[in-house]
Structure formats: structure tokens, C-alpha cells
Amino acid sequence: MAYFMQMRPFLCRTVTKYVGTLRCEIRLFSGTLSKLDPVFSLSTKKGYPSCKGCLEKNCKQNLKIKTRKMSALAGRDNDYIFRQLLEYTSFTYTYILADPESKEAILIDPVIEMVNRDIKIIEDMGLNLKYAINTHVHADHVTGTGEIKKKIPSCKSMISKYSNAKADVQLSEGDKIKFGKFELEVRSTPGHTDGCLTYVWHQKNMAFTGDAILIRGCGRTDFQQGNSGRLYDSVHNQIFSLPPNFTLYPAHDYTGQTSTTVEEEKKLNPRLTKTKEEFIKIMKELNLPYPKQIDRAVPANMVCGMFELQDAKK
């Protein structure tokens, strides 16, 4: 089993926690321990490492870090393009997926404030953006799909038909989204909202889960059409039924992590490893403050961020 996880440099404690929980060889690719680009291999096969503090100060001794050259990365699979991009106010992840041969690309969960960045990346790579897709009607930020359509009119917006939101294409359970030689399977994963979808990229063992499951967490269920029992069933039936090595990419992370796997969440998710009754109780007692942008975001996202165009028509 191979894991790949990208973490922000300051998250020494997170690294230590993963080294402990996964109990396998960890290779840490870092530009922080020395200024350039060494690759560090932390072998922990024989037990838990004892790193307690800052990687820079302690890990070299405690974890026996061996340096390698960045060329260790050179052989990686390049028959697809994958970019995970962060919007750092709402901590939303946007994903660019593309087929480098046909140049067809899709965007998952673009954020309105980051549209210029996303389009620049797409143009720099010479890609043709086919679809701008939402995993659901977000409550914490305005989707970028409307702005993208203004700038790239051939691009089609997509959202779940179960969300009742407007878009060029309304997706249903079992639909396929095709881009070049690739396709995503659409799985309905309601519970955070009625229209939450998970997009499964079987060819690359990945799934884009929106807010259905987060890394060691899950989407809240206290507004829109939130329903904890439904969310529990969605995750168990539609996400935990994927092979254990599938990497899960969520729409948000608030702790600096970037991805997880089906296997990890089935073992370690503090909410979804519980019984359904316990899960419902946990969700009822979360008491999270409402997202700051909710009043602006939900109405805009019901029209896939095309709200200015809607106003202009009136």
C-alpha cells in the first residue's frame, strides 16, 4: 500500500501523528529542512518514531532522515494532470483534472475569488476547459462557475439535479463526466445537503467527496437540507464501499491536510467509525457557528454563481 500526502511545512505535529498511525515507511518530500529540494525518507517500519517537537530540530536524530535527490520523483505517472488548489479564506480546495493528450480539462469546485488564478493555470498548460463542476450548493463561498462561463463561454457548468440549482448540466446518480480518455462516475452522497455528489475517478483510484466526508471529519448537517442519518448512509454506502486504497480529496480542510484514503477514514474518522445513533448525536452537538458568507453564498450558488447575469436580465 502506498500513501501520498501533502502537508504544509509548519505541520510538524501532523507529520508525527501520521508517522505514528500509519506504521509504515514514510517518505517526506520537503523544501523546509534545507533550503532547496531534498527528499527525506523516514523509515518507521520497526515501530513508532519518537519525534515530539519541530521536525527541523529533532527529526534528523530521532527518525534517521536520509536525504535523496528530487529526481526520485521523476518517474511518476504523467498520463494525467491533477492539481489541487487552495482558496485560503474559506479553505476550499479546487481541483483541475485533465487529459494531457486531448487537452480536455475539468474544474471541480472553483471559488469566485480565485477564477483568474484557475484560468491562468489552465491557459498556461494549454488546456481546454470542458466543465466547471460543483460538488454541491456551497454555503461558505460563492462558486466560480458563473465567472468562468463568462470568460470561457464554451465551458459548461454542472451540479446535482437533486440540488434544484441552475446549471447547464444537471447530474444524477450514475452519470459519467467525460474528459479526453478519462471519466468520472457521479455518486449521490446527500446528508450535508440534498444535492451533494461525490465524483469517482476509477482510472486513478481517486474520489472527490465535496463536504460528504472531510479528512477525519464530515460536512455539518445543521442547515440547508442537512440530515445526519442520510449523511452516515451516504458515506458508508457510497464512499466506504470504494477500494481501500482510493485517495479521497475533500472540498475543505481546516487543519492543513490535503487528502486521505478510504482505508484511513474507515479506521480513523472520529465521527464515521461510530454507530449511526452515536454519529447522529455527535452531529447534533457540534454547535458550529454559521459560515460567514452563508447569506451571500447560498442564493448565488443556486444559480451556479451566475447571479449578476440573472440580475442583468431583470
Ligand X SMILES: N[C@@H](CCC(=O)N[C@@H](CSS)C(=O)NCC(=O)O)C(=O)O
Q: Which amino acid is at 257?
A: Q
CA distance 85 to 121: 10
The span of 8-16, 94-102, 181-189, 291-299 binding ligand X (CB under 6 A) equals: 291-299
- Does residue number 100 form part of the binding site for ligand X (CB under 6 A)? no
CA distance 192 to 162: 13
Q: Which of 90, 188, 189, 238 binds ligand X (CB under 6 A)?
A: 90
Asked whether 180 and 201 are in contact (CB, 8 A), the reply is no
Smallest gap from residue 47 Cβ to ligand X (A):
32
The span of 47-55, 106-114, 212-220, 230-238 binding ligand X (CB under 6 A) equals: 212-220
The interface mask with ligand X, positions 250-289, x = CB under 6 A, is: --x-----------------------------------x-
Among positions 14-73, residues that touch ligand X (CB under 6 A) are none
For ligand X, the closer CB: 102 or 293: 293
The DSSP secondary-structure symbol of 233 reads H
CA distance 56 to 34: 9
- Does residue number 292 form part of the binding site for ligand X (CB under 6 A)? yes
Coil, helix or strand at residue 168: coil
Give the Å distances, CA to CA, from 18 to 3, 25, 72. 11, 11, 22
The span of 42-50, 201-209, 215-223, 256-264 binding ligand X (CB under 6 A) equals: 215-223
- Does residue number 196 form part of the binding site for ligand X (CB under 6 A)? no
Q: Which of 219, 232, 249, 298 binds ligand X (CB under 6 A)?
A: 219
Query: Cβ contacts of residue 79 below 8 Å, gap of 6+?
Result: 100, 101
* Edge-first strand listing for the sheet containing 104-108: 81-87, 92-98, 104-108, 128-133, 156-160, 169-171
Smallest gap from residue 124 Cβ to ligand X (A):
29
The span of 114-122, 158-166, 217-225, 259-267 binding ligand X (CB under 6 A) equals: 217-225
For ligand X, the closer CB: 130 or 138: 138
- Does residue number 291 form part of the binding site for ligand X (CB under 6 A)? yes
Per the listing, cell 482505508 goes with 263
For ligand X, the closer CB: 155 or 298: 298
For ligand X, the closer CB: 105 or 139: 139
The span of 31-39, 47-55, 165-173, 216-224 binding ligand X (CB under 6 A) equals: 216-224
CA distance 258 to 66: 24
Asked whether 228 and 279 are in contact (CB, 8 A), the reply is yes
Coil, helix or strand at residue 98: strand
Which of 73, 16, 4, 2 minimizes the C-alpha distance to 260?
Answer: 4
Which residues form the interface with ligand X (CB under 6 A)?
A: 90, 139-140, 211, 217, 219-220, 252, 288, 291-293
